[in-house]
A and B are shown apart, each in its own frame.
Chain A
């Protein structure tokens, strides 16, 4: 029963001029993009598409400048004061001890932040971290098509981007890849925290497929996945499952989402 709605909505989307849609309706500012209700193919679920309700997502990842404002307002999240259980030692390692950082990275995505810090940041903005399903739904869009898997060359493009080492200086947010929904930098610049980052996978052994929860195994994935060609997704799921909530890495940042306002579906 849920499919007809999705199909109708998808049909409507296709009819709307790209210039009109999708524009963010997250209050007055244009910093968020509306991802309409729809579905996507999770890596681990065979061929069953998962439904995702409408939501708003930050067009850009949270930048160093953004995060420094948050730290200024919430000094308990400063590099010095943060509790060790909420963030490992390398928290904000690329910043100076006094909380400053090189001005040229102000507009780049903030990295070396833990899940706890990311979640708190979003909460303070009246937002939250995206669920993995929401993130994957937004990131599944190609440059010109809602379903990137149907866009020629899209998988190999994002795999190329992801395979490259993290550059010494991350590019300015909003300068790499803009997708169909008008969301920037979903692939190849940084990994991003999701709210339920560690729920999809429960093991580092990526090839087992004989245990009870094998649908959750990433590389059971090679047998379980509905889309074995989506290597970039394998890499993302593998990355998420290697993390603990206090972990920070040089290539891991985040962005926030919130529920779509009533009437937006």
Chain B
């Protein structure tokens, strides 16, 4: 008898343990829960019915306080409309809800959703929606394919919690997405998200226009640029400056902030970063695993991330795609404006401003004996040296063609400033140049540090600039340079 009882007892014990483990999984510890394959759903749990509150970016519907699943009715309207993508630049956007990105949808894990997609009669094209939160054919794309002036309805149960992208999936899919047809749907986990003071909705997208960045007027979609994946615009929330000035995201020092960040693509992956902040938490790729103390988080096209942080001190914190030319040349830049009291211990601000100019002596010591005297070189050798020096010392600001950046770095090619006055050109190279000046009729006000070049090198680089970039016969000699060097 003993032989039989013992195994039975252990079996019983095992059952109890595994059952309690199962319950704890569902209720509290989502960390362990994520290891399980397949998600719980329970139709009998669904109680009542409600209409989803949709919000325009950068706003987010209020957190869900229900502790049960319900039937949620979502109504989303598709609108094709002309809007500004930058000041003075218009673009025909195709949108979910009249904005880019589309309306933010917030539901709870286990909710049963009745989704209505309405294609406005004024629209020209058929559309549909693929919600990455949906488990089923096309994420709903097949069920929602709808001509202008019609409405499609389908239902789904939200099995997985997370922050999901939705987008249009009508052919040509890339073009529908490139024109702005994407947004985010948050499926809150059953236990909810921790309470924060501010929640915002930010979504990146890349745009391809026939004219270059900033070219005004109505700009058409450029299919070839899209295929080559070379956007003119990379922006947050559908527009250059959507999150700056009046429209900056706002918070007070000491508040906790949660950003729901998506990336609609169609092509680029985002290196999302907030200048001057460290993300305390990042729900990586919008899923359930939290990472901590993150500087930059990678957001795939058609993916998302939730970032959480406390803004400790006032200031303008700048949202960027840290693939940084996109931020400064294509528009991927937003501002989180934080007001409130300073905390000098965390950040002092600028203590003592000044310009750093290393002494000419030190500069020359570093470069000593590197170059032969100009007098020993043939004009060809001198020109070749000048070109090399130009590449190393000048192109970072004045660019390879010497044309500079209008309003920031003055041109050295075909430049009236240089042509008129070799002494001033020499002076700028050997002594540096600070303050306002006018070149070719445009005002500049910046700092050029003195260049660590010998007299012969200075003469060589300037002669290259005169001959090759200004078509001028002006000759700068080592003696002239020596005289002007302070």
Contact = CB atoms under 8 A, between A and B. Distances in A.
Nearest to B120: A250
Given A165-B124, A207-B169, A234-B172, A247 B147 contact: yes
Interface string B162-182: 000000011111010001000
Contacts of A9: none
Contact of B122 (A155, A165, A221, A234): A165
A206 B141 CA distance: 8
Contacts of A6: none
A93 B122 CA distance: 12
B89 to A, nearest CB: 15
Contacts of A239: 125-126, 147
Contacts of B145: 203-205, 241-242
Interface residues of A, number: 37
B128 interface: yes
Contacts of A125: none
A164 B92 CA distance: 7
Contacts of A206: 141, 169-171, 173
B82 A165 contact: yes
A248 B220 contact: no
A231 interface: yes
Given A204-B170, A207-B173, A249 B149 contact: yes
Contact of A251 (B138, B148, B220): B148
A212 to B, nearest CB: 16
Interface in A160-192: 160, 162-166, 191
Nearest to B81: A165
Interface in A226-249: 229, 231, 234-235, 237-239, 241-243, 247-249
A237 B145 CA distance: 13
B137 interface: yes
Contact of A231 (B146, B147, B175): B175
Contacts of A235: 125, 171-172, 175
Interface in A192-217: 203-208
B144 interface: yes
B475 interface: no
Question: Which secondary structure characterizes the binding site on chain B?
Answer: loop
Question: Which secondary structure characterizes the binding site on chain A?
Answer: loop
A163 B221 contact: yes
Nearest to A43: B171
Contacts of B138: 204-205, 207-208
Contacts of B427: none
A249 B171 contact: no
B80 A203 contact: no
A204 B173 CA distance: 12
A238 to B, nearest CB: 5
Contacts of A90: 121, 149
Interface string B61-98: 00000000000000000001110000000001000000
B191 interface: no
Given A204-B142, A248-B149, A160 B173 contact: no
Interface string B207-231: 0001000000000111110010000
Given A163-B92, A205-B138, A205-B145, A234 B171 contact: yes
7 contacts: A156-B222, A159-B223, A204-B143, A206-B141, A218-B171, A219-B173, A221-B171
Interface of B: 80-82, 92, 121-126, 128, 137-138, 141-150, 169-173, 175, 179, 210, 220-224, 227
Given A156-B210, A229-B223, A249-B121, 6 more contacts: A155-B223, A164-B220, A203-B145, A205-B128, A207-B141, A241-B126
